[in-house]
Structure 1
Amino acid sequence: MNIIIIEDELRTAKSLEQIILKIKPEAKITGQYQSVESSVAALSGGTQPDLIFMDIQLADGLCFEIFKSVSISAPVVFCTAFDEYSLDAFKNNGVDYVLKPFSKEDIREALKKVDELKNFFQQKVMPDLGDLLSKLGAPQASKSSFLVFKNQKYTTVAVENIAYFFIKNDCTIIVCFDKEQFIINQSLDQIAGMVSAKQFFRVNRQYLVNFKAIREVEPYFLRKLYVKLVIETPEKLLINKEKSHNFLSWMEER
């Protein structure tokens, strides 16, 4: 089985590759792509995988743009931190929808569904989409607090008190509205899957921001957006032009 991975977080892509190959040693990872553009180029250039693992929010936009540019016949397993795209996923070759942070068992179940789907077609029986949807299960509830360690003590920080999460020197840091900071073990990608997608937005690779922390948003050079928070950040929070529309739509949905 030839598999490609479309995922803009390199560490996540590597972890996914390792899990897949442990479960299916006979599989081959024939390509890894981080953007809509590179994925379209590969798939329109002759790449014909048997299966695709695909993140939804890529570096240059939503993965559904790929389907508008190139015909894809392979089944797709969507791996994402966001649960609101499930219907779109199943309209675009989706056979499973795995929420991050995923486990080895999640990927094992996804591969099992792919094998089941293959058997359906070999028997000339169409798969029951309703049955596939029912196997998704309910999305995980949003996390209400994080366990932290500071001054030789464990305590919890309520999510509602967190202004933003950011990455510094490969460490993930919580910054509260009172400006207190805590280092936690989870990656930003994992945290995005734990907190409410309606309350927090991944403005870029370094920052995940609470809606309540946003003071104002200004247009910036090259059609970017400059996000200003109610408390200071170590650097300017800039959203690239590809993500600007999604961000403004997210703000407008309040």
Structure 2
Amino acid sequence: MAADPKALKIAAARAALDYVQDGMKLGLGTGSTAEEFVRLLAEKVAGGLKVVGVPTSVRTEELARSLGIPLATLDDEPSLDLTVDGADEIGPHLALIKGGGGALLREKIVAAASSRMIVIADESKVVETLGAFPLPIEVNPFGLKATVLAIEHIGRQFGLTGEIRLRMKDGKPFVTDGGHFIVDASFGRIPATKAFADELNMIPGVVEHGLFIGLASLAIVAGEGGVRVIDGKN
């Protein structure tokens, strides 16, 4: 019998608690696996653990607040000790695709403000090459078509083709907490992740993209055989 996906998420989240110390300032990620970490963290806080959390989304903020975790903004606490977050894909050297939940801009800002970032996930998220999961790209609503054309152009330069689709919700464009749209690029595989990420950053209409490179320190991955830790050297 295959392991229950939720049980694997909880196992990875529980293992991440070992890296949390009293007095830490924590970035709190977004998504189903990160939410399991928030719930487990709340139990520790209820037991006396002293931490301050900086949420990466309104959704995470509401959950953490409802569970009694003390919260601050990144303006209040601009330097964090640790961020714990999920990922849509984990590639070689801990390069990630994130943003399936729509919080990639705030997630990247919080991760970059942290001394360490730990990624928690189930084994299915570990891949040899990033890109099977459509790459989320947060864009300014102004000039959307021109921005998509520019993304397509850059993609072709890297041999990347595939549908680039505006993310929708309830029949309307999905709007991020920052007021932007997201387009999801189904490239299939992205071998030259760093070079491609750099080119995406040069497109004026691109606010941020879901390629997280050089940000994660560790990945805690849960599978049927147990929990394993992947460091950035792998």
Q: Same fold (TM over 0.5)?
A: no
Q: Larger Rg: 1 or 2?
A: 1
Between the two structures, name the one with larger relative contact order (CA 8 Å, sep ≥ 6). 2
Select the structure that is richer in strand.
1
Question: Taking structure 2 as the reference length, what is the TM-score of the superposition?
Answer: 0.32
